[in-house]
Amino acid sequence: MLKFKNIVNTIKKIPFLLSFVAVIGIIIDYGVYQSENFEQKLFWLYIITIGIGILANIFRFFYKKSIPKLKALIFDVLFSIILLALLFHHLKLYNINFLNDRIWLQLGTFIVFIREISLIDFNLLKEKLNPAQLFVLSFFTIIIIGAILLMLPKSTHNGITFVNALFTSTSAVCVTGLVVVDTGTYFTHFGQVILIFLMQLGGLGVMTFASFFSYFFKGVSSYKNQLMLSDMTNSEKIAEVFSIIKKIVLVTFSIEAIGAILIFRSLSPSLIPDLNSRIFFSIFHTVSGFCNAGFSTLTDNLYEIGYRFNYPLHIVIAFLIILGGIGFPIIFNFFKYLRHLIKNRIKLLENKKAVHIPWVININTKLVVITSSILIILGTLFFYLLEYNHSLANQPVFGKIVGAFFGAVTPRTAGFNTINMASLQAPTILLIIFLMWIGASPASTGGGIKTSTFAIATLNILSIAKRKTKTEIFHREIAAISIKRAFAVISLSLIVIGLSVFLITIFDGEKNMMAIIFECFSAFSTVGLSLGITSSLTDTSKIILVLTMFIGRVGMLTVLISFLKKVTHTKYRHPTEEILIN
């Protein structure tokens, strides 16, 4: 009996191992030049993988312990039909014209891989990885994989060094946008597709996608994994974990789809005559915008001739940046409020009594929206006044307003630029550094210390100045732990940035000090704006920026939590003493 179980367990691993090899085959297919004979071998690898994938689904159906839930079973049946159609067509058993392209075979293979990997129980807790460690490790892993993919022969036109590949991969995964090579001319179409995937994975988090696909195919998840993910998604209720993840993925792809359509409509066919190229441009810049990455296929970013006066394009990208940086909890809270208003409006039309629900818009949403609005409005106003006769001088009045608005939005961790960065005034540079440091909002695709951190710190300072013992807003008291975290994040951010500036001045001392400071703030806050020194830095300075971007994305506090052991015995109090300050 035991021998039979071992045989069954071994058989169950075959589809995953085969699909894993097939995915490597897909990467080789696109990334490496090969002979016609090798291409034929890859073709049969895809065919066998799909065939084994179909058999594995049938096997799970009849093997009681592996039968998936009803929802997952429906998808299994659907995908099995699609995979069978692919198999029949490419084996010339049945002809379906639109499946002729090899890409459909590769897509089917990839679906089998996702299906198989979603069934693996990695038993996260048994590996003694806490949520912070898993979060840090997921980003580190995808950065290394990204660097390897970018070094493939077909990823670039003339090859790339490991340091530059690592820098670009880190910049994409950490959704920064700092570049050491020109994205549009240095990377091939395949290399740019890799960047899209890296930005998307980095923007939403690797674990979000992994958990979504796992739940999507299984229809259920273990209680232990739900506990793990509730910590990672900051969910108060374990039951809501996968609901939140599904909403995040759905909202992201919905907003990006709308953004891509709007960007596509803003493009002139005279600039990009080829339809497929316009579609790719739209998708690339939508993902880059919503994920607050700041990568562009244009050499001079959005300041490129032909695009610098395309105000509809600038406005669409600016709002993608805002939506990506506002945070998913805020978006979900607004949906909840909108649903509440619609329900009450329907009740009133039906002559029924409206239902009052207190605090539909929660304190977190109010604080983030107010802080973000103030920063955008004041940032736009100051940018407009400071740059009116400088970087915005050649723009019409409407263009100056759009340029100032974009200039206030993009430092909030996006990295796009519609003006010449070299022509900025010193006060404007300081304003951008300040906006970059604050960054986006919590649980968003952006970086920085976050708007809520800045708001809480400011409110606490005002409370101390007013000699209040509590920090309050909207008739609510802010928890002491939130204030502690806010000041810890601020202190750690300045330490990391200060250390980065110090080290880069050692290895690139000839560079302008303001440019170095600007670069380090941009890297830590995962913004991507630069005063033009990134590509000319030494390899050592690039590695320093890589570490700065990584720490800025995962958070220095998260890194410390992942390494320091949690103190469990805290049910005691020492005598209180006041320390002299100021």
Q: Does residue 220 sit within a domain? A: yes
Q: What is the pLDDT of residue 520?
A: 95
Q: Which of 286, 295, 449 is nearest to 375 (CA)?
A: 449
Any domain includes 347: no
Q: Are 529 and 436 contacting, i.e. CB atoms less than 8 angstroms apart?
A: yes
Last residue of a domain, one of 320, 335, 363: 320
What is the pLDDT at residue 481? 86
Over its C-alpha atoms, the chain yields an Rg (Å, rounded) of: 26
> Rounded to whole angstroms, what are the CA distances from 289 to 64, 99, 175, 319, 341?
46, 32, 10, 9, 30
Question: How many domains are there within the chain?
Answer: 2
- The pLDDT tens digits of the residues spanning 275-300 come to 999 999 999 999 999 988 889 999 88
Task: List, as one string, the DSSP characters of 456-469.
Answer: HHHHHHHHHHTT-S
Per-residue pLDDT tens digits for 44-91: 888 888 888 888 777 766 665 555 566 666 766 777 788 888 787 777
Residues 100 and 172 reside in one and the same domain: no
**DSSP labels, 366-415:** HHHHHHHHHHHHHHHHHHHHHHTTTTTTTS-HHHHHHHHHHHHHTTTTT-
Q: Is 187 helix (H, G, I), strand (E, B) or coil?
A: strand
Name the helix (H) or strand (E) containing 477.
Answer: strand 476-477
Range of the domain at 187: 131-320
pLDDT given for residue 321 in this prediction:
92
Any domain includes 424: no
**Any domain includes 469:** no
Q: With 80 as the cut, is the pLDDT of residue 218 above it?
A: no
Between residues 106 and 400, the one the model is more confident about = 400
Are 138 and 26 contained in the same domain? no
Token pair for 480: 């002491």
Whether residues 166 and 291 fall in one domain: yes
pLDDT tens, position by position, 175-214: 888 999 999 899 999 999 999 999 988 887 655 555 444 4
Residue 170 lies in a domain: yes
Average pLDDT of 362-376?
90
What does the block give as tokens for 566?
A: 């949690």
Same domain, 229 and 296: yes
**Last residue of a domain, which of 117, 139, 162?**
117
Residue 465 vs residues 374, 412, 484, 489: alpha-carbon distances, Å: 22, 29, 18, 22
Residue pLDDT, tens place only, 120-164: 655 544 456 666 777 788 788 889 999 999 999 999 998 899 999
Determine the average pLDDT of the residues in 551-557: 84
In a domain, 153, yes or no: yes
Average pLDDT over residues 529-557: 90
Answer yes or no: are the C-beta atoms of 184 and 301 closer than 8 Å. Answer: no
Give the mean model confidence (pLDDT) for residues 219-229.
45
Residue 128 is predicted with a pLDDT of 64
pLDDT at position 224 is 44
Domain identity same for 80 and 165: no
Instruction: Establish if 158 belongs to a structural domain.
Output: yes
* Residue 532 located in a structural domain: no
For residue 452, count other CB atoms closer than 10 A to its CB. Answer: 23
Computed over every residue of the chain, the mean pLDDT equals 82
Side-chain-side CA neighbours of residue 315 (13 Å): 13
Report the predicted TM-score, pTM, of the whole model to 2 decimal places: 0.85
Q: In Å, how far from its chain's centre is CA 168? A: 15
Residue 336: pLDDT band with limits 50, 70, 90: confident
